[in-house]
């Protein structure tokens, strides 16, 4: 039951785009058509679903204060949490490389669909943000962390597909010249964010 | 990489000739272009990820801006010094390591000297690592230019980012809370108390995250209305 709550919460209430603005750069750059937006969205779900649990294990068995106690009792006082940024980003960059190679070898069709988006994702703030929020909110089990990663990815997919659909339609409207392109996209995202705020009061 | 591609297009990519005065017209352009014509946020669309969430209060925005100026300046210098030694296949990982180490430094300093601001910035200090401005400038400028121009480019872009951040924060804090609080000085009221007697209310919507996007949208609107060559095709 707890897992379902985390899932719903990370999709709607703590939406990566509307509540924290994570992954905005690729969100703005790749949202011109729905098709590419869907591709990037699924790539983000995929990578978040893999890197958050791995970083969870890293956090709980290596980095956290006292996490190294399993290796030797004398190491219980070691606190490596200041290394977490560099460890997390290293895991993300290498996992993205690895996933890219595996997908290319075993699922060429999927690679054709996701391929160009995978390298872009290593520097997507939403991915590192997922791991950092996982660390900050201190999920207790790996299942919770995985569900949180997947849910955040799904929320991101929803947001980018929504904005891409709106941008496809807005091509037919007469937007004031200085607002065309970037400006109107910002304002629409803001309005979508306000709509998503409706979920804010919900206690799960 | 499309984010980086955008930067590449707009970047002035040329080796600076070595025999020229320290602040030649060309070098000055490196500093001033990112403030308006080539602003990282409103024109290059880089670094929005961490920019918007921390603009509720001016002091947070200032601390964040200073951190980015530091990371950007030293990152550009380091990458520029080693630009001929970095194999291009693994350059992304090398860049990430350089940024991550600088960000760890910033984070530790903030935790030690400004603990409550560091608490409020929460994960966003860490997210400087994946801030697209930094990777974008490394890729588009520092990898191909000498140390001094790269340092200027770093400062210019970081300040271009910082002024948007602070401008958004000023608007949001004045209309959201009616006063701007500075550490040590306390709150400075901008909306006179008489207004509140007449039934004026602070606009609580300004404190919520979506308004940051709308304020940036309006800044873009004003900028492009003034500077018509920035207007995009629909």
Complex confidence, ipTM: 0.78
Q: Which domain holds residue A104?
A: 2-194
A75 alpha carbon, distance to own chain's centre: 33
Tell me the per-residue pLDDT of B66-92, one tens digit each, with 9 for 90 and over: 999 999 999 999 999 998 888 877 777
End-to-end CA distance of chain A: 10
Count: domains in chain A: 1
Residues of A in contact with B100 (CB under 8 A): 85-86, 89
Distances (CA, A) of B145 to A181, B14, B74, B123, B150: 31, 7, 14, 32, 6
Chain A closest-CA separation from residue B23 CA (Å):
33
Q: What are the structure tokens assigned to A14, written together?
A: 């703590």
For residue A103, tell me if it sits in a domain. yes
What whole-number percentage of chain A has pLDDT above 90? Answer: 19
What tens-digit pLDDT sequence spans chain B (234 residues)?
344 444 444 444 444 444 566 677 778 888 888 887 888 888 877 777 766 778 888 888 888 899 999 999 999 999 999 988 888 777 778 888 898 899 999 988 998 988 888 888 877 888 888 777 888 888 888 888 889 989 998 999 899 889 888 999 988 888 888 888 777 677 777 777 777 788 788 888 888 888 888 998 898 889 888 888 777 765
Nearest-angstrom CA–CA distance, B195 and B107: 41
CA neighbor of A10 nearest in space, from A129, A140, A150: A150
Crossing angle of helices B147-177 and B210-226, in 10° steps, is: 120
Please name the residues between 160 and 189 in chain A that touch chain B, using a CB distance below 8 Å. Answer: 170-171, 175-187, 189
For residue A148, tell me if it sits in a domain. yes
For residue A155, tell me if it sits in a domain. yes
For residue A120, tell me if it sits in a domain. yes
For residue A106, tell me if it sits in a domain. yes
For residue A86, tell me if it sits in a domain. yes
For residue A203, tell me if it sits in a domain. no
> Chain A within 8 Å of B234 (Cβ-Cβ)?
yes
Helix (H, G, I), strand (E, B) or coil at B150: helix
Nearest-angstrom CA–CA distance, A121 and A117: 6
Q: For residue A115, what pLDDT is reported?
A: 60
| pTM of the model as a whole | 0.80
């Amino acid at each position: 039951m707890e897992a379902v709550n985390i899932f719903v919460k990370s999709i709607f209430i703590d939406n990566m785009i509307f509540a924290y603005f994570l992954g905005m750069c690729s969100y703005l750059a790749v949202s011109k058509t729905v098709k590419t937006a869907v591709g990037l969205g699924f790539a983000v779900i995929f990578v978040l679903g893999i890197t958050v649990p791995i970083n969870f294990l890293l956090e709980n068995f290596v980095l956290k204060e006292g996490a190294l106690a399993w290796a030797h009792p004398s190491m219980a006082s070691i606190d490596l949490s200041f290394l977490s940024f560099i460890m997390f980003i290293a895991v993300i960059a290498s996992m993205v490389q690895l996933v890219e190679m595996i997908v290319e070898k075993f699922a060429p069709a999927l690679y054709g669909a996701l391929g160009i988006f995978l390298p872009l994702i290593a520097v997507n703030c939403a991915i590192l943000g997922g791991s950092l929020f996982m660390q900050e909110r201190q999920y207790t089990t790996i299942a919770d962390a995985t569900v949180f990663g997947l849910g955040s990815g799904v929320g991101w997919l929803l947001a980018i597909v929504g904005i891409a659909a709106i941008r496809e339609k807005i091509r037919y409207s007469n937007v004031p010249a200085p607002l065309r392109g970037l400006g109107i996209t910002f304002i629409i995202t803001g309005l979508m964010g306000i709509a998503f705020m409706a979920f804010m009061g919900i206690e799960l | 990489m499309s984010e980086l591609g955008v930067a590449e297009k707009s970047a002035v990519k040329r080796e600076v000739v070595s025999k020229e005065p320290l602040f030649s017209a060309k070098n000055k352009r490196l500093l001033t272009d990112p403030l308006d014509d080539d602003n990282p946020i409103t024109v290059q669309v880089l670094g929005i990820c961490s920019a918007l969430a921390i603009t509720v209060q001016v002091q947070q925005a200032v601390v964040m801006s200073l951190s980015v100026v530091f990371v950007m300046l030293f990152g550009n210098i380091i990458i520029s010094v080693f630009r001929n030694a970095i194999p291009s296949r693994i350059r992304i990982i090398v860049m990430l390591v350089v940024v991550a180490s600088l960000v760890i430094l910033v984070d530790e300093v903030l935790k030690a000297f400004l603990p409550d601001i560091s608490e409020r910035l929460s994960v966003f200090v860490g997210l400087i690592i994946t801030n697209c401005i930094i990777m974008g400038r490394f890729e588009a400028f520092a990898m191909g230019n000498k140390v001094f121009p790269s340092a200027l480019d770093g400062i210019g872009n970081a300040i271009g980012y910082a002024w948007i951040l602070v401008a958004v924060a000023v608007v949001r804090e004045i209309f959201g809370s009616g006063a701007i609080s500075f550490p040590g000085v306390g709150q400075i009221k901008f909306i006179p108390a008489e207004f509140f007697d007449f039934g004026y209310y602070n606009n609580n919507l300004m404190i919520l995250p979506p308004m940051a996007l709308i304020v940036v949208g309006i800044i873009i609107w004003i900028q492009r209305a003034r500077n018509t060559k920035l207007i995009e095709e629909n």
